[in-house]
């Protein structure tokens, strides 16, 4: 953490309280999450309704990712208190999911039978599923509470005034 990053905090943010994850850049983040949640829900609903038996693993995975996107969208939109913890969990699951499924799908294309939202690192969705969880993690870090005294986590952080 450098002084430049600390100085880039929007002036409206109260320095000691966590900012809501739904404000500012968070508006865009939640929007993209919401769109992806819609896309994943639609895809998964279609797959479950019409052809689940063809590739149960892949379609279950798609349904799971859809649920995670919905939870992440709501949690990031709420953005305060316990919702932040929910957002951390959901976004982390996504990050692990897209990297694991992406890597597996490249290593052996037939592993899930059919493609999923996370196959090829989210290739079918313009790699947005790959970028989004890391943008989410970055944003959760960026908006977290900052104590008055330098914490053990960031010993070297400059404290202007």
**Contact assessment for residue 125 and residue 70, using Cβ atoms and an 8 Å cutoff:** no
Tokens of 144: 């977290």
- CB of 66 vs other proteins, minimal distance in Å: 13
Sketch the per residue contact string, 42 through 71, with other proteins: x for CB under 8 A, - otherwise. Answer: x--xx--xx---------------------
Biggest CA-to-CA distance, the chain: 63
- CB of 147 vs other proteins, minimal distance in Å: 27
DSSP 14-83: -TTSPPPTTSTHHHHHHHHHHHHHHHHHHHHHHHHHHHGGG-HHHHHHHHHHHHHHHHHHHHHHH-STHH
Q: Which among 103, 22, 21, 117 is positioned nearest to 62, based on CA atoms?
A: 117
Quick one: 51 or 159, whose CB is closer to other proteins? 51
Sketch the per residue contact string, 18 through 47, with other proteins: x for CB under 8 A, - otherwise. Answer: -----xxxxxx-xxx-xx--xx--x--xx-
Quick one: 48 or 137, whose CB is closer to other proteins? 48
- CB of 87 vs other proteins, minimal distance in Å: 17
Quick one: 50 or 108, whose CB is closer to other proteins? 50
Quick one: 30 or 61, whose CB is closer to other proteins? 30
What size, in residues, is the chain? 161
Does position 82 interact with other proteins (CB under 8 A)? The reply is no
Distance CA 137, CA 56 (A): 30
Residues that bind other proteins (CB under 8 A): 23-28, 30-32, 34-35, 38-39, 42, 45-46, 49-50, 77
């Amino acid at each position: 953490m450098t002084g430049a990053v600390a100085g880039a905090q929007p002036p409206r943010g109260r320095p000691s309280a966590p900012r809501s994850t739904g404000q500012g850049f968070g508006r865009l983040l939640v929007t993209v999450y919401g769109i992806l949640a819609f896309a994943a829900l639609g895809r998964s609903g279609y797959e479950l309704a019409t052809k689940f038996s063809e590739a149960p693993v892949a379609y279950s995975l798609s349904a799971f990712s859809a649920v995670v996107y919905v939870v992440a969208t709501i949690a990031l939109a709420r953005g305060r208190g316990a919702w932040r913890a929910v957002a951390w969990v959901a976004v982390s699951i996504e990050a692990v999911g897209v990297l694991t499924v992406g890597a597996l799908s490249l290593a052996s294309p037939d592993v899930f039978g059919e493609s999923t939202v996370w196959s090829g690192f989210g290739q079918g969705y313009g790699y947005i599923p790959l970028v989004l969880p890391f943008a989410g993690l970055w944003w959760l870090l960026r908006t977290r509470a900052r104590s008055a005294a330098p914490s053990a986590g960031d010993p070297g952080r400059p404290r202007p005034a």
